[in-house]
Structures are given as C-alpha cells and as structure tokens.
Amino acid sequence: MDDETTVGELREAVHNFVEARDWYQYHTPKHLAMSIAIEAAEIMEHFQWRTAAQSIEMLKDPEIRAEVADELADVLIYCLSFANSTGIDISSAIQAKITRNEERFPVELVQGRLEW
C-alpha cells in the first residue's frame, strides 16, 4: 500500500483519529516529541543484545515482525501527528533534508564508507 497511499492521506487519517478523541489538547510538540522517542525505543528493545545478523534473522518470524511493525506504526503515527500539530510539511522537509545531505555527503566521498 505504500505506493498507493499518500502522506496527505495518512496525515488526514491521523488527524481524524486525534480530533474525534479531542486529543489535540495533549498533542503539543513537547509531548509528541517525547512519544516519538519512547516508541522508537520500543523498536530498539526488540533488537537489544542481538547481533546485526540476528536482528535480520529474527524479522523472518511473522509474530516478531508484526510486533516490530506495530512499533514502527506508532512512531510514524506520532510523527504524522507532530506534523499535523506543528504545520510542518513532511514532503518539503524530507526533500530539503535530502538536498542538504546530498551536499554534505557527496557520493564520491562517502559511498560504502561509514567514516569520511
């Protein structure tokens, strides 16, 4: 569905969910930023104490994959809610960041390297 659903549609779905519950009163930048970090930590918890190879292998288990997908969804829902609450245009922000990163990390200097 990623290639069928727009960011705008996802933002609207999150907006409708939050608005119906009157949660915008709680969705301040501070609270949403904290929620994003907390949910991201819940993704990391699945991989704690595992090697890189083990982390790849464990995602082949449908139950674990579903748990990680739920946590990823929580992170993205909070990110979309953050964008809704702050009026940040996600697509513009991502495009601008990619442009800056293209300048900071030119392919000819960093391709295949973690250090430069």
Give the model confidence (pLDDT) of 44-53 as tens digits: 999 999 999 9
Which superfamily is assigned to 7-110 in CATH? MazG-like (1.10.287.1080)
Mean pLDDT of the chain: 97
Give yes or no for a contact between 33 and 75, defined as CB atoms under 8 angstroms apart.
Answer: no
Q: Which pTM was predicted? A: 0.91
DSSP string, the chain: -TTTS-HHHHHHHHHHHHHHTT-TTT--HHHHHHHHHHHHHHHHHHHTT--HHHHHHHTTSHHHHHHHHHHHHHHHHHHHHHHHHHT--HHHHHHHHHHHHHHHS-HHHHTT-S--
The pLDDT of 65-85, averaged and rounded, is 98
